[in-house]
Chain A
Amino acid sequence: MEIEQTALPGIGLKHEFTTQSGRRIAVVSHRTGRRDVVVYDRHDPDRACETVKLNDEEADALAELLGAPRIVQRLNDLHREVEGLVSVQLPIGEGSPYAGRPMGQARARTRTGASIVAVVRAGQVHASPSPDFGLAAGDVVVVVGSPESTAAVADILVRG
């Protein structure tokens, strides 16, 4: 996939590409932080037929929504590439002793050697959570390590 970058003097930058189905889309990055998502007209590919203006916050939210499944997918790709390394997604159940407690209290890495690399909550990925990140029932914890160590983390999350 080729992304074309164009300078817009006085405004900012434009990145555009064509999807596999033949639609052209672009993101205009204004210097002010505003982001426009632009969809081009099928019949007049030079014209933006739809422009959605996003402020900083909205742009961040959209990026996160688009990026969330990708992070998990990338992790899966990663463990396929590295022999002996797996990433597993462990749900925090209602009965987990760590639901409602900071993640650091599980001392997962110290006890097992595996790392919690992300927490997925309501479709949003919180990458590299800090030890004081509060876990809640319904979260999915992404753990990377050896098959044994990740199994040990699963055990800790269920039984403490």
Chain B
Amino acid sequence: MHTATIFIELGGIVLALGVLGALALRAGISPIPLYLLAGLAFGKGGILPLATSEDFVAVGAELGVVLLLLTLGLEYNADELVASLRGNARGGLVDLVLNAAPGAVVALLLGWGPVAAVAMAGVTYATSSGITAKVLSDLGWIGNRETPVVLSLLVFEDLTMAMYLPILTAILAGVSLAGGAVTVAIALGAVSVVLVAALRFGRFIEAFVASPNSEVLLLKVVGLALAVAGVAQQLQVSAAVGAFLVGIALSGELAHEARALLMPLRDLFAAVFFVFFGLQTDPGSILPMAGIAAVLAVVSMVTKLATGAYAARRAGVARAGQARAGIALIPRGEFNIVIAGLAVAAGAHPDLGPLAAGYVLILAAFGPLAARLVQPLITLVARRA
């Protein structure tokens, strides 16, 4: 009887997501904001609160985070990461400083304390590489001269995330200052060890995982990612980073194949993750935060535009391209919610979840739209000049 209810509820949720996804596709926007809205509607205080399947959805959401970061790691190989770090450190640092600051400042102004400030810094910092990649591809910007700059910034951000997430997890664990320092040190040590191992011994891991049979490959990759994620969690490094590092360790043909196999699985559980975040957030609590979220979103747009312009100009790209680079960097999405999710789960500040939800809702929806709307304008201006 119980299983039946869970199935009906889950089926309803997933089906609703499918319909919403189709709508988003037609409107040419990212489905992420719609998934969040669905979560808000199904959650406590929503129109149609669900109760029985919440445990399952919670585990599904965790899986979603692991799969999101695993597939992200699979996109890059270690050489690209190193090359990107070397060539774009300056642009990457400008990105970090300009875009982490608004979140941190707002959290401090609201009096949420330093822990929430670190979390909010992450929420405003990271561009959604998923949405941005889609914008670049949809608008035919992949061949553009500013695109390598944008992609390098995304790689830089993802690497920064690998360092940031364990630090955040340690801080959120709320240990004393000395204890916190030790936890952070352990976390960073673990990340470095795995990163070096991935760089130097990646091929052994690949040899272990490789299989001509897609079923075996899928099981091995998911199994390895989950196991490493679990161990990482135990070490306070956060499961997400563990999965990311497994993805980095795998490269070449194997990584493509694994990515192709994982995509549908990731799409399913990532959608569940967005719903879960929405479920946990009371829609009523977003409204008081809406004003702040909107201001923060506008500030973030300006800082990302500045970041893109700076990095593109360094690469010798003209005005129009600089503007496009900035616009491409605006979307926020999965990782900002991952970070907010971690903070909420650790009980950072009750208003952090709603603020992050509102903020991501605006930028995930508006980023791709802005790019689409502004494209003809930029072209016109470039033609005049």
**B144:A47 contact, CB within 8 angstroms:** yes
**A51:B143 contact, CB within 8 angstroms:** yes
| Set B140, B256, B378, B385: member contacting A31, Cβ < 8 A | B256
Nearest Cβ in chain A — how far from B241, in angstroms? 18
Docked complex: A74-89 residues within 8 A CB-CB of B: none
Given contacts A31-B256, A32-B256, A38-B143, contact A47 B320 (CB under 8 A): yes
Total CB contacts across the A-B interface at under 8 A: 80
Whether A44 is near chain B, meaning CB under 8 Å from some CB there, is yes
Task: Determine which residue in A36, A47, A51 has the highest number of CB atoms from chain B within 10 A of its CB, and name it.
Answer: A47
Docked complex: A30-86 residues within 8 A CB-CB of B: 31-32, 36, 38, 40-41, 43-48, 50-51
List of B residues within 8 angstroms of A28 by Cβ: 142-143
**B146:A46 contact, CB within 8 angstroms:** yes
| Set B76, B142, B256, B318: member contacting A46, Cβ < 8 A | B318
The segment from B29-37, B59-67, B148-156, B274-282 that touches chain A is B148-156
Given contacts A9-B154, A11-B142, A28-B142, contact A47 B324 (CB under 8 A): yes
| Interface of A: prevailing SS | strand
List of A residues within 8 angstroms of B145 by Cβ: 45-47
**A26:B143 contact, CB within 8 angstroms:** yes
List of B residues within 8 angstroms of A8 by Cβ: 142, 147-148, 151
Q: How many residues of chain A have a CB within 8 Å of chain B?
A: 24
Contact indicator per residue, chain A 1-33, by CB within 8 Å of chain B (1) or not (0): 000001111110010100000000010100110
Q: Which residue of B lies closest to A44 (CB)?
A: B382
Q: How many residues of chain B have a CB within 8 Å of chain A?
A: 31
Contact indicator per residue, chain B 353-385, by CB within 8 Å of chain A (1) or not (0): 000000000000000000000000011001101
Docked complex: B102-151 residues within 8 A CB-CB of A: 129, 133, 140-148, 151
- Bound complex: CA A20 to CA B249 (Å): 44
Whether B267 is near chain A, meaning CB under 8 Å from some CB there, is no
Q: Using CB atoms and an 8 Å cutoff, list the residues of chain B in contact with chain A.
A: 75-76, 80, 83-84, 129, 133, 140-148, 151-152, 154-155, 256, 317-318, 320-321, 324, 378-379, 382-383, 385
Return 9 A-B CB contacts under 8 Å, by A number. A7-B80, A9-B75, A9-B80, A9-B148, A10-B151, A36-B142, A46-B145, A51-B140, A51-B143
